[in-house]
Structure 1
């Protein structure tokens, strides 16, 4: 959708990098579609149009993409270079030994290092108006010392200037042009960009951290900026209690709120199906999911558990590598890569064991969905989210992260004991009965309706 076609007023502006594969995207889709049914107007802003649409939203939702290149122009900025330089000099008067030098090239600003140290000269191109705003935000609002500010600009100059500066300016332009009291953002770097672009515009900013920041680090400079900018949001939500504990270190406690992921169906309504000898793993094929740990553990015992198979549901850059690994481990005939599937529920209904070997997780949708289908689960001890749902030896097993021998033993115990599988699966309802979409959406709606 072109920028000129969007409305002037929305109940909610929702920002997420893309609506491709991922648990956060599924939560976003469920919430947005639920709000539309309640007759709320939603503007969905994304950054990456080339990602496949894996989680659909209602046709009444307006979608726009804020790109970091030049072929979508949201607004042209008038540049008055003389005034910009004067304002920057005033803002950075404490910057010595750093000084600003105007170059001959139009619309360029040069921060020159006149002192000792490893910070090099920085060229900030054609983004001067936004740099003034951002510099004020960093120094006067967040009270970051000038040396750190210059370090941030130095990293930015290599990572995303002028690309992401252009995206930030365009995002701020949308916020100025569209009336909406509430802006909701999902995922780390996107949360920071949302705060950067909306600060001071009288919007209620609600950001959602989807992983434990203590475990999932962002790339520079976003990890540093997360600790500085998150406290400027009106509300910071997270889907796990462990993540809330981490966020307490740099976000005021009265701004933090635990909101778990919503489930789109009731555990009691799941139709009972015949279970097959299937070990199910659901997730993107990336390093974080540590699917190779499952394959290696299975290779240690596959001869002793004939007729059992592994199903891996998901897509990702490591697919070929994992397929090759299954060949090297001689388990390729009993390991099946199903790709990304919208009919994921059919696999839950027929599987007997669910395994999540991830290196870190927030509150994983796939685990909650497996629990809804009363499948006993085995999870790693890598992050607090899954451990809030699985009690070791009660409704599943917890194994040591990346320990293929520990995982092998836990899988083998469940494979050999069908009654234990049934007992553990039946106990799941104690942990997830309060996670219905209607219940969780009520928490979000109470945030949206609050005054600024």
Structure 2
């Protein structure tokens, strides 16, 4: 009988976590595993394509909560709806992505013969999810069969709430992009990619670019992504007089073409787990600029060797880096070559093999300690 796995995530909109989830779904389908996808938002919001063989369950969405009672009601209903979807799927294992959604997933499976595997794709030390959710995470995560994270730093933090033997480091798969002949711009450009939110710190990037432009003639800056800060960033661009220099271009399917033609990828995020966009850009030989607070990627990026590193939110330091990369072609190209070598030397990850191992272990382990922990 074919094994059935359920995967749950809030949506399949554009984002690094959704990209990892899409790799997993495709890999499981190709492996012959039955896959059910449980989401809050429907297919009309999808950026990543979901294979036709996948059974989709869309949960009720209450929208934003404006009171404590409505929040409690909405989340209790979500737990019950996910529980029904899990039971309907007949799955032996539920894999959940994204922090607060992970808590809902574990609670929905209490008392069911379903092993829950949590995937943390951010840095839980710095991710702000609110006091109640933070307390719930500490109480609920130990109930999962396994908790995975994509950086050693996140794993270290999670050891304070989950037994070490049930933690697994799950590195991001890196999509490789060949050399592209398709022009996305008639001029060289700097590139930034990510969800337009406070975490990604594109406000700092725009300030730094504006300051750098006062010191040097610069190529334009293209920012790929969507998110809640889009209007504020557009206002900031206008306020700095950068409407002809900085462009928010939304989500794109051909991000590899942009990596290949950019002078550098600038990723100023205030915190990260292991940012896919940085790994992907390095794989194309694109120089990368990251903030020092992205501790996961600092195991791979070394200042002035295969990338550039600046202090979080340091506008002046980032501006100087932008000017240097714009004016020093030889230095920039050397960074790109070294970045690509770093990715080529990284252990290969197809996005599914490690998951198959952990799924197999979770569903077949019959140790008394494991069962007592999951069912307590």
Give the paired residue count. Answer: 357
Tell me the residue number matched to 1:385.
Answer: 296
Residue correspondence of structure 1 range 175-194 to structure 2 within 5 A: 175-194=86-105
In our comparison, the structure showing a higher alpha carbon Rg is 1
Partner residue of 2:219 out of 305, 308, 320: 308
- Deviations along 1:214-268, whole A, 9 cap, x unmatched? 11021241111111111111111001111111111111111111111112327xx
Residue among 280, 285, 301 paired with 1:369:
280
The residue that corresponds to 2:40 in the other structure is: 47
Match of 2:73 in 1: 162
Scaled by the length of structure 2, the TM-score of the pair is: 0.89
Determine which of 7, 11, 19 is the counterpart of 1:18.
Answer: 11
Aligned match of 2:247 in 336, 339, 344?
Answer: 336
**How far apart are residue 159 of structure 1 and its match?**
4.9
Question: Gapped runs of 5+ residues in structure 2?
Answer: 366-376
Corresponding residue for residue 257 of structure 1 = 168
> Is 1:66 aligned to residue 54 of structure 2?
no
3-state secondary structure, aligned to 2:117: strand
Residue 9 of structure 1 contacts residue 180 of structure 1 at CA under 8 Å; is this kept in 2? Answer: no
Preserved contact between residue 302 and residue 331 of structure 1 (Cα < 8 Å): no
SS at match of 2:296: helix
Residue 50 and residue 162 in structure 1: after superposition, are their counterparts in 2 closer, same or farther (change >3 A)? Answer: farther
TM-score after normalising by structure 1: 0.74
Q: Which residue of 2 aligns with 1:197?
A: 108
> Cα deviations across residues 382-441 of structure 1 (Å, max 9, x unaligned)?
231222231111111110111100101112222221111111111123433346452x42
User: Contact 2:189/2:222 (CA < 8 Å) preserved in 1?
Assistant: yes
Note if contact 2:205-2:268 (Cα within 8 Å) is conserved in structure 1. yes
Task: Tell whether 2:199 aligns with 1:288.
Answer: yes
* SS of the residue 2:52 aligns to: coil
Indicate conservation of the 8 Å contact 1:238/1:257, yes or no: yes
Provide the residue aligned with 2:355 in structure 1.
444
The 1:171/1:394 distance shift into structure 2, 3 A limit, reads same
Q: What residue number does 1:152 align with?
A: none
Compute the RMSD of aligned alpha carbons. 2.3
Task: Check conservation: 2:215, 2:323, Cα contact below 8 A.
Answer: no
- How much has 1:281 moved relative to structure 2? 0.5
CA pair 431-272 structure 1, distance change in 2 beyond 3 A = farther
Q: 1:51 to 1:317 in 2, by over 3 A?
A: farther
| SS of match in other structure, 2:221 | strand
Query: Which digits, 9 at most, give the CA deviation of each residue in 1:279-332, with x for residues without a partner?
Result: 101111111111111111111121443251101111122222212212221222
Question: Equivalent residue for 2:370?
Answer: none
> Which stretch shows the higher mean deviation, 180-189 or 195-204?
195-204
* Cα pair 2:176 2:284 within 8 Å, conserved: no
Does the Cα contact within 8 Å between 1:239 and 1:260 map onto a contact in 2? yes
**Aligned equivalent of 1:297, options 208, 223, 227:** 208
Instruction: Sort the Cα spacing of 1:304 and 1:272 in 2 relative to 1 into closer, same or farther, 3 A.
Output: farther
Distance in structure 1 (CA, Å) of the matches to 2:244 and 2:197:
22
User: 2:15–2:195: 8 Å Cα contact kept in structure 1?
Assistant: yes
> Which residue of the partner structure matches residue 271 of structure 2?
360
Alignment partner of 1:35 is 2:33: no
SS at match of 2:352: helix
The answer to whether 1:399 aligns with 2:310 is: yes
